[in-house]
Structure 1
């Protein structure tokens, strides 16, 4: 299975072009559009790290959130806990590596005969992801140390993504020590609730979401608008 994780948006030609390359090079392999509205590389990485845990070993994640396309950043493949991630060396894959029990970085030195300066997702990353999916490792690569993760937190106490409903996902994995504590978001105290219907309409709360992340929501409302939130806003549990 190949899973697309991009910031392309659901409309336009880009997803279709990448999917065509995948299906031509890895016929018979399922291609899933997992996320097409990812934020900037660093927060997107924490969303990716949470999502990938829902999938079995052997899956390939084609990760294209690449504002520096055409620049001097490397093309990386990360093998983490049996899953494969293909994408740019811009921090997008670092959270996955920071949370992984075992990992291996490969620098992709292969280049196609024709490589667009602005669409490495189609021309470089997609062909490599397809080959990995069919277990073809004949393309030019080197095992490398990878980026320095010493200062890279396994969890990120910021908002990393807004879903369609305006709910704010954070980069914090839920831990038992958080139970029932008050979360401070934008100088607002947000209490815990197990589910939406546990609070009155219009009330902000935080809960343990289906990805095991701390998420901020408003029952029958939008947390992003009601609390004036933005990607990168910090969150902190009260003592």
Structure 2
């Protein structure tokens, strides 16, 4: 399958154009809209890393969060633990690589006859993702070392995404030693609970979410509004 991870938004013409290219170039391959409201590349990379773990090896992720489109940033394909990721070299794929046991970077040297300066998702990344899904590697590429990741953190102690309900996902993968500890968020302390209904209505909590990330929520309320949360806000577990 090919999974779309973008910041295009659910409306407008962009998703449809990209999906059309994928279906033309990889007929019969399932195309799934995974995320269409991804944040900036750095926090989006932690969300992508959490989401991809539930998909089988061989899946291809088309990752287009590309504010530097048209610049000299490289176009990359990353094979990590048997899954493929296609997107710009702007930090979006770094977390995948850091968390993976095995990784291989390819620089995409292929260019289509017509390449829009502002829509590489449609003209460059989508055709390559389609060809990888067909296991066609005849396009121009070279194996490269990839970005320098020595200091890239495998987890991020900050808010990386706020969902439709106002719940705030962090870039911290859950660990057993977190259980029962208070989480400081914007100078407020949030207690641990396993489910929403374990706290009173209107109370804040943090819990282990379905992606195995630490998430902040409010029972019957919006954590982003009640706690004043925004992407990039730091979180800290108290001893």
Separation in structure 1 between the aligned mates of residue 54 and residue 187 of structure 2, nearest angstrom: 33
Separation in structure 2 between the aligned mates of residue 164 and residue 101 of structure 1, nearest angstrom: 32
Shift of 1:119: 0.1
Structure 1 position 53 matched with structure 2 position 53: yes
Structure 1 position 63 matched with structure 2 position 52: no
Shift of 1:131: 0.1
Structure 1 position 144 matched with structure 2 position 144: yes
Shift of 1:208: 0.1
Aligned to 1:116: 116
Aligned to 1:41: 41
Separation in structure 2 between the aligned mates of residue 122 and residue 238 of structure 1, nearest angstrom: 45
Ranges in structure 2 where 5+ consecutive residues have no aligned partner: none
| Deviations 1:118-174 (CA, angstroms, capped at 9, x unpaired) | 000000000000000000000000000000001100000010000100000000000
Aligned to 2:176: 176
| Deviations 1:32-74 (CA, angstroms, capped at 9, x unpaired) | 0000000000000000000000000000000000000000100
* Count, aligned residues: 239
Separation in structure 1 between the aligned mates of residue 24 and residue 79 of structure 2, nearest angstrom: 23
Equivalent position SS for 1:236: strand
Equivalent position SS for 1:191: strand
Q: TM-score with structure 1 length normalisation?
A: 1.00
Aligned to 1:4: 4
Aligned CA RMSD, in angstroms, stands at 0.3
Equivalent position SS for 1:114: coil
Aligned to 1:205: 205
> How is 1:1-239 mapped onto 2 (pairs within 5 angstroms)?
1-239=1-239
Following TM superposition, the consecutive aligned residue runs of length 4 or more in structure 1 with deviations greater than 3 angstroms are: none
Separation in structure 2 between the aligned mates of residue 161 and residue 187 of structure 1, nearest angstrom: 19
